[in-house]
Structure 1
């Protein structure tokens, strides 16, 4: 389901509307002569038309009349420019026009920052409610404008919305510290705050007046949110006072249990998602929940409810993995999304960090003789085994920072000397290994077909590197700090560039971008900060990033060039306004 932004307003069309009709009436008079009097009859119908601007590439806007029995067909727009409805408006009819805009999708392998982008479309130049009064010119020249909104927080941790302009960057008037990220939902975003030792769920349509606490459908206050939540499509699942709830837009309701009229009690097992399904451990059972249906109870090999009393869960792609640590179900299990029976893949329960790559899934596993190393499974017990032990010491290689690009997996692990990067390429169920590359690897990110990472060129002097996974294809992108450590971090692939934060000297961090070449590695602004810069959002071709200091934050935008990098907003001190 697409995340959508909705704007609803009532149009009541009164009077006669349409193109004027000219009638020629013969006047009566003596002398056989006469004169013609021109009378303009009132219009009898009107075709609705206008102009759309600002619609983001790859998205669509649906304008529809939600009045029961309406004869005005819905209109779907996929590009900017002139538009016209097929139907007509007639006298004394009420209309309730709703605008639903899809949000830009994040393509595979491209991370667009901390905030999702919400597209908001509004009708301009004409009230969304009221009487049209037969104004043919206005109704024939409707103006719909769309803009991309993203969300962040100020230096006090309070939520803020921005459309990328100084005047459009404003507080949401929520005086509680942000506790989570922002999650797209129907018509806006959801986020969690903390205040007075409570966690609260909020909904915002991108305006301060449209930002409010989410309540149950019967007005219940939700002030006992648990520590875990999960998004599946437009649905935001969370626990409140020990029960499972789901929010879509600004309202929430309890999730029904497997039995009609029941509810789902959610314990400490947490939640996981795979495909379009949510999985939650409730009263020692695993429930599979999909939109619009009763929860399903997962079964074990004996066709009885799977006992998940000591289990944890992880999802990757369309697969769910359960690791159970005691009892008859001890071991690791797999379920493909949409199925109801789990199958065992190993008696070992010390698995985590699952990542699907083609037909295989890689993960971190532990054995006393080898420590924690890289394992692989094809979903069967016979096809689950220890794959790589680059460190012969029982401490293991401790694989972390799994990064998947198509049918390739990059992993950071230690060979007992230093953290390095290995690349695993999957064709069918065959895996080829290349590497290791780098030494003392820290931050890493995929960009294009390469992995970029931070590693020292000499002891204590890390710089930015790039690699295709082979020693011959590994190089320093640019020596940013020739006299010391650049300490690059917050590497993020956005569009044509890889953005990161680094020190050119010891005076502070600056925001940088690179295309993988020395000449294409550029500092975006000479302004420095104490705690680094992080990419926050991408709207169209513009990237927004935040520079962090102990006492203040600032929001910037760039097209990837230094000359078009500007500061949008700055927050200083507890009492500062944007």
Structure 2
């Protein structure tokens, strides 16, 4: 992969780190050593710390999230978008350590998540939004080590996840929300070893995932929720080596994914759930050189994705599931350099993404499904700088994202797909500072997100797409401050 691919990865890492800076100043803060240009951004966060809301998850008319206060630590909160309706659901772990809530997942109107208590490590919980209705589902590993549920996934109203009961290692579990109905589905890698489940994905009511049974390596599996119906789909990289299926994506009932073989490297595959129907779609970067398909995105039943070959670099591709129908969609940057596109997002049939050109750097692009209609939407950043559009999110047919116009810093933007309609929503942290919005989430037509306005710290915000309608919902942690975030980072050895 060329240096521009590395640069994009570094930027995405920076964007994630900025979110971590906003979200995790109460914990060990991480910072990229090779990012001296962000020092001013760090220092500007030397202000009220805030509650660092994140993991927004919509269940009916309620949006659940995690927030941190000095008295309760990180616990479960909910909001209806009003200050009075933004409340702590339950202090699950009494004291300032908090329950360290994670993996919020909506399963048919019930919120599932994982949490610590004062007496037990991480286990499976559920909530109906009330304190009394927020309860432990099952103590999967009662010896005190915790079941550590992960990869929580809704498949037709049943929760599937990976957990460790202390006997079988990390294996596939399911739950209907009751203790009796929370059971091990199958011990895939027997003898106390873990099958290392990853990428649990619902495809029309069937669960697909990657697992290692100890014989075939990490390969593609499927499950109907029964032990007998939990089977290896195909040993793609035959023998004990792993094809490591990743980026599992449902496109109109067909599973597309990235997988590795020694002959082809990481390339695009598809599966209908059968051995014979699990096939290499195309060797995009011929030989054992990987095309590394990424950002697999469904646009009206057609797969769009980024992929690399030595001729075109990392560019936009499309596939109908056939070799002939898997083609380079547009060579945005002619030659081997590539546009290093990222954040592919479908908004009502229009594909939006971030792409890099030598003349403009990383800017916002769109596609109407034709090569001619695949164009830079707007040059947001100044001539010699990038706007770096990230966190592209659809809300009611409008694209929201975070970008930098060189004047306002990293702030909230929106687009209707036209240049004139691609505008700054609000300069939340005024004066050229960045509010660094993150965790952008569509909550029944309202955008919820976290941002720092320089006065309240990182708190809960919402937006209807207008400047006046972009407001602080609630200052959850109004009195918590830090004097110098850069010093805090240094103190943590980052």
Q: TM-score, normalised by structure 2?
A: 0.65
Q: Cα deviation per residue 1:138-161 (whole Å; 9 max; x = unaligned)? A: xxxxxxxxxx22122335544321
The corresponding residue for 2:354 is: 454
Q: 2:317 aligns with which of 403, 406, 422?
A: 422
Q: Aligned-pair distance for 1:492?
A: 1.0
Q: For the Cα contact (< 8 Å) 2:269–2:278, is it kept in 1?
A: yes
In structure 2, which of residues 148, 151, 155 is the aligned counterpart of residue 226 of structure 1? Answer: 148
Matched position secondary structure for 2:84: helix
- Are the equivalent residues in 1 in contact too, given 2:340–2:356 (CA < 8 A)? yes
Q: Deviations over 1:449-481 (max 9, x none)?
A: 222111224367311111235431111222222
1:284 aligns to 2:190 (yes or no): yes
Match of 2:166 among 212, 232, 242: 242
1-structure distance, mates of 2:116, 2:293:
34
Residue 377 of structure 2 is aligned with which of 461, 472, 477? 477
**Counterpart in 1 of 2:132?**
210
Q: Distance in 2 between matches of 1:496 and 1:424?
A: 24
SS in 2 for 1:563: coil
Match of 2:179 among 218, 228, 252: 252
1:241 positional shift: 4.0
Is residue 270–residue 321 contact of structure 2 (8 Å, CA) maintained in 1?
no
Residue 224 to residue 399, structure 1, CA distance change in 2 (3 Å): same
Counterpart Cα distance in 2 of 1:331 and 1:192: 25
Structure 2 portions without partners, runs of 5+: 1-53, 333-338, 482-494
User: Once the two structures are superposed, what CA deviation does each residue of 1:486-536 show, in whole Å capped at 9, x if it has no partner?
Assistant: 111111112211111111226531111111111221222121364622355
Q: Please name the residue that 2:463 is paired with.
A: 558
Q: How far apart, CA to CA, are the structure 1 residues paired with 2:462 and 2:233?
A: 50
| Candidates 403, 410, 413, aligned match of 1:509 | 410
Match of 1:152 among 65, 71, 91: 65
**8 Å contact kept, 1:201–1:222:** no
Q: Which residue of 1 aligns with 2:289?
A: 395
Q: Does 1:193 align with 2:115?
A: yes
Report which stretch shifted further, 535-544 or 443-452.
Answer: 535-544
Distance in 2 separating the partners of 1:556 and 1:420: 35
More strand by share: 1
Give CA-to-partner distance per residue, 1:307-352, whole Å, 9 cap, x none: x98685654403536665764x579566574784857645524140
Is this contact kept in 2: 1:172–1:211, CA < 8 A? no
Alignment partner, residue 80 of structure 1: none
1:542 is matched with which residue: 435, 446, 455? 446
Q: Displacement, 1:171? A: 2.6
Aligned to 1:117: 58
Taking the aligned partners of 1:117 and 1:378, their CA distance within structure 2 comes to 30
Distance change >3 Å, CA 458–CA 508, structure 1 → 2 = same
CA–CA separation in structure 2 for the residues paired with 1:494 and 1:345 = 38
Write out aligned runs for 1:262-301 (5 A): 264=184, 279-281=185-187, 284=190
**CA pair 309-201 structure 1, distance change in 2 beyond 3 A:** closer
Question: Is the aligned partner of 1:412 residue 2:345?
Answer: no
- Residue among 196, 201, 208 paired with 1:320: 208
TM-score normalised per structure 1: 0.57
Distance in structure 2 (CA, Å) of the matches to 1:491 and 1:426: 26
SS at match of 2:358: coil
The Cα of 1:165 is off from its aligned counterpart by: 0.6
Secondary structure class of the residue paired with 2:284: coil
- Give the aligned partner of residue 363 of structure 2: 463
Q: Kindly tell me: are residues 231 and 386 of structure 1, through their superposed partners in 2, closer, same or farther at Cα, counting changes over 3 Å? A: closer
More helix by share: 2
3-state SS, counterpart of residue 372 of structure 2: helix
Counterparts of 2:261 and 2:466, CA distance in 1: 50
Deviations 1:40-73 (A, max 9, x none): xxxxxxxxxxxxxxxxxxxxxxxxxxxxxxxxxx
Q: 1:456 to 1:506 in 2, by over 3 A?
A: farther
Deviation per residue, 1:115-154 (Å, 9 max, x gap): 33334xxxxxxxxxxxxxxxxxxxxxxxxxxxx2212233
Higher relative CO (CA 8 A, sep ≥ 6), structure 1 or 2? 2
- 5+ residue gaps, structure 1, are 1-112, 120-147, 257-263, 265-278, 286-307
Q: Which of these two proteins has the greater Rg computed from alpha carbons?
A: 1
Aligned to 1:486: 387
Q: Find the counterpart in structure 1 of residue 243 from structure 2.
A: 350
**1:463–1:430 Cα change, 3 Å:** closer
Give the drift of 1:199: 1.9
2:472 counterpart residue number: 567
CA distance, structure 1, for counterparts of residue 182 and residue 66 of structure 2:
31
Q: Is the 8 A contact 2:189 2:213 kept in 1?
A: no
Partner of 1:162: 79
* Contact 2:196–2:211 under 8 Å retained in 1: yes
Q: Distance in 1 between matches of 2:453 and 2:262?
A: 44
Deviates more, 1:196-205 or 1:224-233: 196-205
Alpha-carbon separation, structure 2, partners of 1:330 and 1:183: 29
Please give the alpha-carbon distance, in whole angstroms, between the structure 2 residues aligned to 1:369 and 1:217: 45
Summarize the Cα distance change of 1:178–1:515 in structure 2 as closer, same or farther, 3 Å threshold: farther
